[in-house]
Amino acid sequence: MKAAWSVSLRRRPFVASLAAATTIAIAGRAAAQVSVADHAGRMVEIRDTSRVIAVGGSVTEIIYALDAGGRLVGADTTSLYPEAATRLPRVGYMRQISAEGVLSLRPTLIISTTAAGPAAAFDQLRSAGVPTLVLADDYDIDSVLRKIEGIGHALGRDEAARTLIAARRAEMADLAGKLAAIGGRPKVLSLLSVSQGPPQAAGRITAAEGIIRLAGGVNAITSYEGYRPITAEGALALAPDALMVAAQTLEALGGFDGLLGAASLALTPAGKARRVFALDALLLLGFGPRTPEAARRLADFLHPGHGPAQAP
């Protein structure tokens, strides 16, 4: 019996949360003023987008995809794509942001997601009077599309955002339609290398689980949320059909042989078949504008001979 897949692609207009733009004078020039709702429903008034700081790789990617990268004056250390983003001044790691470092770049707008922190630093930024837009960061395609819409409106790039959303929605709908015709959902174990300790396995409510779901697989771990170290006994009991890692994790573990030598992974069905999928971390787990590409590539791997064809 064929499994049924569904990908939520419903449109969620910002009618209730995005106020109409008005025109005001700022430093002798006209500027659009907009109001954008953040993750908590607070309205963020935005008057000047000439000096933007992005916190979060997906935020930075979206800004560049909307052809607004020229407004960026800083970004966090996870902002590694496109290549131009790597030349921006850094404000630290997204989960350890320093308000002082951000403010030293004199931003007129800060855009981030709920994955960033600490909360106290963002409270400081708001107290300093800098408009700070924090958007929800969930691990599904709807979250990606909402981030694009919110950032597009904040930067006055609404038309570009609508075009990008339409393209990404179409890509995911096409993938979902093809996956619906395929029976079976491979069990995927996703691993993360942390320092010198044993690899950690992704549980529920993680980016790994989200991309596995979009690609027509099922997460091997359902008993906990987040990441936990995996033992040999645990890996064998899970009996995954495939392993998924970021390319950076694969390198840190010493390549395919190093990965399969950890936690007796070589003895699992995935290890015996050497079924390991590796992709750049930001592409695979970033949940930004390239997420449909990551989902398609993983789907191709999980459903060989049956999945969506590789794009030329």
Q: Is 94:56 a contact under the CB 8 Å cutoff?
A: yes
Distance between CA atoms of residues 196 and 284, nearest Å: 23
Q: Is 38:134 a contact under the CB 8 Å cutoff?
A: yes
The reported pLDDT for the residue numbered 77 is: 96
The per-residue pLDDT for range 21-58, each reduced to its tens digit, is 433 333 333 355 899 999 999 999 999 999 999 999 99
The per-residue pLDDT for range 5-24, each reduced to its tens digit, is 434 444 444 333 443 343 33
| DSSP summary character for residue 3 | -
Q: Which residue from 67, 210, 212, 227 is spatially nearest to 142, judged by alpha carbons?
A: 210
Distance between CA atoms of residues 116 and 256, nearest Å: 31
The per-residue pLDDT for range 137-168, each reduced to its tens digit, is 999 999 999 999 999 999 999 999 999 999 99
The reported pLDDT for the residue numbered 24 is: 35
The reported pLDDT for the residue numbered 194 is: 66
Helices 158-179, 141-154: inter-axial angle, 10-degree rounding = 170
**Start-to-end Cα distance in the chain:** 32
The reported pLDDT for the residue numbered 305 is: 74
Residue ranges of the chain whose pLDDT lies below 50:
1-30, 309-312
Distance between CA atoms of residues 161 and 155, nearest Å: 10
Distance between CA atoms of residues 54 and 270, nearest Å: 38
The reported pLDDT for the residue numbered 15 is: 33
Q: Is 190:208 a contact under the CB 8 Å cutoff?
A: yes
The reported pLDDT for the residue numbered 272 is: 95
Provide CB contacts within 8 A for 180, sequence distance 6+.
2, 4, 5, 6
pTM of the model: 0.87
The reported pLDDT for the residue numbered 312 is: 34
Domains of the chain as residue ranges with CATH: 19-174 (3.40.50.1980), 187-302 (3.40.50.1980)
Four-point Cα dihedral 49, 54, 60, 66, nearest 10: -10
The reported pLDDT for the residue numbered 7 is: 43
The reported pLDDT for the residue numbered 308 is: 52
